[in-house]
A and B are shown apart, each in its own frame.
Chain A
Amino acid sequence: GQNIDQPTEMTATEGAIVQINCTYQTSGFNGLFWYQQHAGEAPTFLSYNVLDGLEEKGRFSSFLSRSKGYSYLLLKELQMKDSASYLCAVTDSNYQLIWGAGTKLIIKP
């Protein structure tokens, strides 16, 4: 079956760096997305990786290793507003989007 694993919850300190990991086993691969979802709101797009390597976008970076079925989202200079759930999603060979359960990130002062 298809599966995406990410930690349920993480805690980090304001101003610090946090890395949220995502591993996947899917039938084929056509890209990996990271979305941010604040409580009670709809998800918003953060990043997209289809080739191996690191994509940097401001304070957020996303890394992909297709051979390892692994990605991470790196958040730098954490701010209180970064407290949210971070969803990893993979597009499989049929271009179906498979969603992870999300990682709830708690930022403490």
Chain B
Amino acid sequence: GAVVSQHPSRVICKSGTSVKIECRSLDFQATTMFWYRQFPKQSLMLMATSNEGSKATYEQGVEKDKFLINHASLTLSTLTVTSAHPEDSSFYICSATRGTSGGGANVLTFGAGSRLTVL
């Protein structure tokens, strides 16, 4: 089955530093990957859609200069939280789709998530 690897699973950093999170599709090519953040006891919030070889599409309210997304290859997308602050502490999750599955569904496969704590 489709596997998405996300690294690191946990990261603690000081305020003002930058943190990079990697998302890899291990056994399929993902032309599109998605980045979400999730605050405790809240639902997933789509941050951006990452397309291989082009600029990411950011959702309204998400600062593209703060959350840098790079989709350099068909199997790798990265999210860099620049100049992180405590309010950026959250659970960041990536997902990818390998395309249609049976009845035409674009089933998402999620990475395990990265819990960011900014001190």
List residues of chain A with CB under 8 Å of any chain B CB. 31, 33, 35, 40-45, 48, 50-51, 87, 91, 95, 97, 99-102
Per CB-CB distance, the 7 closest pairs between chain A and chain B, nearest first, are: A42-B110, A48-B105, A101-B43, A42-B113, A42-B93, A102-B43, A45-B107
Beta-carbon contact of B113 and A100 below 8 Å: no
Beta-carbon contact of A99 and B43 below 8 Å: yes
Interface status of B42 (Cβ within 8 A of chain A): yes
Q: A48-B105, A50-B105 are in contact. Are A41 and B113 (CB under 8 A)?
A: yes
Checking A41, A95, A97, A101 against B42 with a beta-carbon cut-off of 8 angstroms, the contacting residue is: A101
Tell me the dominant secondary structure on chain B's binding face: strand
Residues of B within 8 A of A102 (CB): 43
List residues of chain B with CB under 8 Å of any chain A CB. 6, 42-44, 46, 91, 93, 95, 101, 103-113, 115
Residues of A within 8 A of B110 (CB): 42-44
Beta-carbon contact of A95 and B109 below 8 Å: no
For the complex formed, measure the closest distance between the CB of A31 and the CB atoms of chain B, giving whole angstroms. Answer: 6
**Please, which residue of chain A has its CB at the minimum distance from the CB of B45?**
A99
**Please, which residue of chain B has its CB at the minimum distance from the CB of A101?**
B43
Tell me the dominant secondary structure on chain A's binding face: loop
Beta-carbon contact of A100 and B43 below 8 Å: yes
Beta-carbon contact of B43 and A95 below 8 Å: no
Residues of B within 8 A of A43 (CB): 44, 93, 108, 110
Residues of B within 8 A of A40 (CB): 91, 113, 115
Residues of B within 8 A of A50 (CB): 103-105
Question: Roughly how many angstroms separate A102 CA and B113 CA in the complex, as a whole number?
Answer: 17
Beta-carbon contact of A99 and B44 below 8 Å: yes
For the complex formed, measure the closest distance between the CB of B41 and the CB atoms of chain A, giving whole angstroms. Answer: 8
